[in-house]
Amino acid sequence: MSRHPAMLSRRSLLGAGSALVVSFTLARPPFPTATAQSAPPRLPGSLRTTPMLDAWIRIDANGISVFTGKAELGQGIKTALLQVAAEELSVETKQITFITADTARTPNEGYTSGSQSMQDSATAIRHAAAQARELLIAAAAVRLGLPVEQLTAKDGVVSSPDGRRADYRELATAEFLHLEARPQSKLTDPGNYRWIGKPMPRVDIPAKVTGAIAYVQDLRLPDMVHARIVRPPSYGARLRSVEVAAVERLPGVLKVVRDGHFLAVAAQREFQAVQAMDALARASQWDEDKALPNPNELYDWVRNAASKEYVIASVGNVAETAGRSLEATYHRPYQLHGAIGPSCAVAQAEAGALTVWTHAQGVYPLRAALAEMLGLAQDKIRCIHMEGSGCYGHNGADDVAADAALMAMALPGRPVRVQWMRDQEHAWEPFGAAMVTRARASLDTGGSIATWQYEVWSNAHSTRPGGAGNLMPAWHLGRAFSQPTPEPIPQPTGGGDRNAIPLYQFPNMRIVHRFIPQMPLRVSALRGLGAYMNVFSLESFMDELALAAGVDPVEFRLRHLADARARAVVELAAEKFGWDAARKPSRGLGRGFAFAKYKNLAAYTAVAAELEVERESGQIRLLRFVAADDSGEIVNPDGVRNQIEGGIVQSTSWTLREAVAFDETRIRSRDWSTYPILRFTDLPEHVEVHLIDRPGQPFLGTGESAQGPTAAAIANAVANATGVRIRELPFTPARVKAAIAV
């Protein structure tokens, strides 16, 4: 650990009033001792990787700045982090300038993904802010000649009962917070919260609803030009020939770039670039191969492709003895992130350095990938996050940043804005993987689960950059980078096997993840990763077993659930929904229930659904969803609610409508008519969310927790309404109609 001179000077500063230092030291040692250094304690959240306080909080004459390596993706993280910072700094939120992911300014917190931002960044900011506040109070104690006990910090001022005051901005010298965080902090008592646990209007919404600059799409730099890419017609297509001369003469065209199979054009005006792109596409000829699985045999391909077996849980002996046993197989197609706004980035190359404005989820990993692709040193590249359209995982954000970087290098000095077209977004984003799961279980004589076996076949659920080979445009360059063979994300979070291990207590259990490295269709992280399919499967199967056991599905879950917080969420959802175990099946009207603890590590979410199935058409009419959620200590209740509500509606769209269409050569889902999603007329009548707050408990990420339970609640309600179990997603009218076969 390096000792900064400023620390020593502050140590002597604190030593100036020895009586004060005693009380301070008793409360908590102000600085790590030599022994503490020899056995580094575990720091909270992202302080583990970025321990310096001034990486998170800076206070100077201009005020207070707070930094996060996480990015606002529309999930409201900026507002929640601001609440946490304001709470522990004991200031108004409006006193804080908040800075998000930027490789030149903020900590490296990897990706904003996995519902991790509260656990990683809010925890770090909370502790850094609390420690900063205590240091400010200590400094004020010295300045005012008063013991710290007599001082309170509020709204950026430390004051004494007799009215003496010291402003944070005067107390903080330039290097004031340039020291390492300690593992323990004096956190604000939940009884004194001003910001945490209170609904706070999102800070980003006013700009978004009035047309202020809110997105990278809105960034306009002086002398900026527009570029469009001509993508190959299919993944492996090769550019055989292209006539560029006529395109170069089109109005506004500045440059046509051809580098291997990467083909693009830049123009003065945006629509000129679009027209030139169309002309360039018409002037190009490509060679294509049939390289994709037969879509009619997709699940055979998933089951039969070479895979690596990982036994991720093995408890007791799953050899079945007596009792009834059931087996079921479930299917999930490829599904899209489908951002409403296509991916966009702006890049500018100047004097050997490159700046990229991007909506990527990880500015640092993107920087590393761009550096490799361009052969530039990482310190020559700055990636600045700006919001884009919601991404829901790894979509085209990184790729379009690579497009913009390539075009900026080709047009030195000019900022270049690249935006994908709709068909490019649909066809080139990495999809959520197609998956097959097989569950087998047996019941004991008392109607409880005696053995449980589960297998999941899946592609990778993360092919995020970090290396150039995961930037799609780099595949097409003359000096091409190929996509590396992916590795599975290990448990306990897992990728394809995320939530494959049930939270339920089964005496005998074996869970196998069959990881398929080969990726004929491009895949990566889609909100929830494998949890969406695994929760759909195992929560469907729980209902199948409950039916076989003759037990109410909610009661059946509780029978196998030991975790008290899980039970509380299940019971609350059932109660608020008005779940009635004595209810008789009603033809056409169905009720379904499902539960999961996301990743078995994050938020607990239970969802109950009520719907009608029209037998003649197979149409599902959604009546209501009632959800209960425990996300640990809640910072912004309205933010949590918004995430759960959104998760329910988005998962409903996946579950009822969505499957990527393709043939053996090309992706056929290229717009919203070939990939329909939920519209307003398809919505449930009512969605309600009930929250269980756990003040003082760790934050548990909420962003993805509703995806799986919603799918299974729908499936269980459809089974309840029709008496027929559907195990293949999505539940389109045609599939439902065929299943119930009137």
Partner 1 sequence: MLTLNINGRPHSVEAEAATPLLYALRDELGLNGAKFGCGLGQCGACTVLLDDRPILSCITPIAVTQGRQITTLEGLGGIDNPGPVQRAFIAEQAAQCGFCIAGMIMRAEGLLRRNAQPSEQEIRTHMRANLCRCGTHMRILAAVRRAAQAVRSARVDAPPTQDARR
Q: Which two tokens stand for residue 227?
A: 């570029």
215 binds partner 1 (CB under 8 A): yes
Instruction: State the nearest-atom distance from the C-beta of 251 to partner 1, in Å.
Output: 8
201 binds partner 1 (CB under 8 A): yes
Measured from the Cβ of residue 61, the count of other Cβ atoms closer than 10 Å reads 9
Instruction: State the nearest-atom distance from the C-beta of 661 to partner 1, in Å.
Output: 16
Instruction: State the nearest-atom distance from the C-beta of 280 to partner 1, in Å.
Output: 17
Stretch that binds partner 1, among 198-206, 482-490, 492-500, 575-583 (CB under 8 A): 198-206
Nearer to partner 1, 331 or 422 (CB): 422
671 binds partner 1 (CB under 8 A): yes
Instruction: State the nearest-atom distance from the C-beta of 721 to partner 1, in Å.
Output: 22
Nearer to partner 1, 474 or 608 (CB): 608
CA angle 537, 528, 540 (to 5 degrees): 15
Residue 334 CA to residue 330 CA, distance in Å, equals 14
SS3 sequence, 540-562? HHHHHHHHHHCCCHHHHHHHCCC
Distance of CA 165 to the CA centre of its chain: 43
Host H or E run for residue 309 = strand 308-315
521 binds partner 1 (CB under 8 A): no
Stretch that binds partner 1, among 211-219, 306-314, 318-326, 564-572 (CB under 8 A): 211-219
339 binds partner 1 (CB under 8 A): yes
Q: Which two tokens stand for residue 256?
A: 């046509």
Stretch that binds partner 1, among 381-389, 402-410, 491-499, 626-634 (CB under 8 A): 381-389
Residue 726 CA to residue 742 CA, distance in Å, equals 15
DSSP for 685-729?
SEEEEEEE--TTSPB---TTTTHHHHHHHHHHHHHHHHS----BS
5 binds partner 1 (CB under 8 A): no
222 binds partner 1 (CB under 8 A): no
Instruction: State the nearest-atom distance from the C-beta of 702 to partner 1, in Å.
Output: 13
Residue showing tokens 């989820």: 361
- At 169 the three-state DSSP class reads helix
# residues near partner 1 by CB under 8 A:
62
Q: Any residues with CB less than 8 A from the CB of 61 and at least 6 apart, and which?
A: 169
The binding track of 405-444 with respect to partner 1, each residue x by CB under 8 A or -, is --------------x-xx----------------------
Measured from the Cβ of residue 485, the count of other Cβ atoms closer than 10 Å reads 11
207 binds partner 1 (CB under 8 A): yes
Instruction: State the nearest-atom distance from the C-beta of 718 to partner 1, in Å.
Output: 20
The binding track of 674-713 with respect to partner 1, each residue x by CB under 8 A or -, is ---xxxxx-xx--x--------------------------
Measured from the Cβ of residue 518, the count of other Cβ atoms closer than 10 Å reads 12
The binding track of 622-651 with respect to partner 1, each residue x by CB under 8 A or -, is ----------------x---xx-xxxxxxx
Nearer to partner 1, 417 or 513 (CB): 417
619 binds partner 1 (CB under 8 A): no
Measured from the Cβ of residue 739, the count of other Cβ atoms closer than 10 Å reads 18
Q: Are 189 and 41 a contacting pair, CB within 8 Å?
A: no
672 binds partner 1 (CB under 8 A): yes
Residue showing tokens 């077993």: 545
Residue 337 CA to residue 334 CA, distance in Å, equals 10
Nearer to partner 1, 288 or 423 (CB): 423
Residue 383 CA to residue 357 CA, distance in Å, equals 6
Among 15, 29, 145, 206, binds partner 1 (CB under 8 A): 206
Among 322, 340, 581, 724, binds partner 1 (CB under 8 A): 340
Residue 276 CA to residue 253 CA, distance in Å, equals 7
621 binds partner 1 (CB under 8 A): no
Instruction: State the nearest-atom distance from the C-beta of 391 to partner 1, in Å.
Output: 8
Among 58, 70, 202, 332, binds partner 1 (CB under 8 A): 202
Instruction: State the nearest-atom distance from the C-beta of 420 to partner 1, in Å.
Output: 10
196 binds partner 1 (CB under 8 A): no
Measured from the Cβ of residue 520, the count of other Cβ atoms closer than 10 Å reads 18
Q: Are 568 and 606 a contacting pair, CB within 8 Å?
A: no
10 binds partner 1 (CB under 8 A): no
Pairing between β-strand 353-358 and β-strand 381-385 as defined by DSSP bridges = parallel
658 binds partner 1 (CB under 8 A): no
205 binds partner 1 (CB under 8 A): yes
Stretch that binds partner 1, among 184-192, 336-344, 485-493, 599-607 (CB under 8 A): 336-344
Instruction: State the nearest-atom distance from the C-beta of 616 to partner 1, in Å.
Output: 21
CA angle 673, 674, 676 (to 5 degrees): 60
DSSP for 204-235?
THHHHHHT-S-SGGG---TT-EEEEEE--SST
74 binds partner 1 (CB under 8 A): yes
Residue 420 CA to residue 403 CA, distance in Å, equals 10
Residue showing tokens 């002398």: 223
- At 482 the three-state DSSP class reads coil
The binding track of 224-263 with respect to partner 1, each residue x by CB under 8 A or -, is --x-------------------------------------
Stretch that binds partner 1, among 276-284, 340-348, 528-536, 607-615 (CB under 8 A): 340-348
Nearer to partner 1, 624 or 737 (CB): 624
Q: Beginning with the edge strand found earlier in the chain, give each strand of the sheet holding 152-154 in spatial order.
A: 152-154, 157-159, 165-167
Residue 174 CA to residue 742 CA, distance in Å, equals 76
Residues that bind partner 1 (CB under 8 A): 73-76, 201-202, 204-215, 217-218, 220, 226, 269-271, 274, 338-342, 387-390, 392, 419, 421-422, 638, 642-643, 645-653, 671-673, 677-681, 683-684, 687
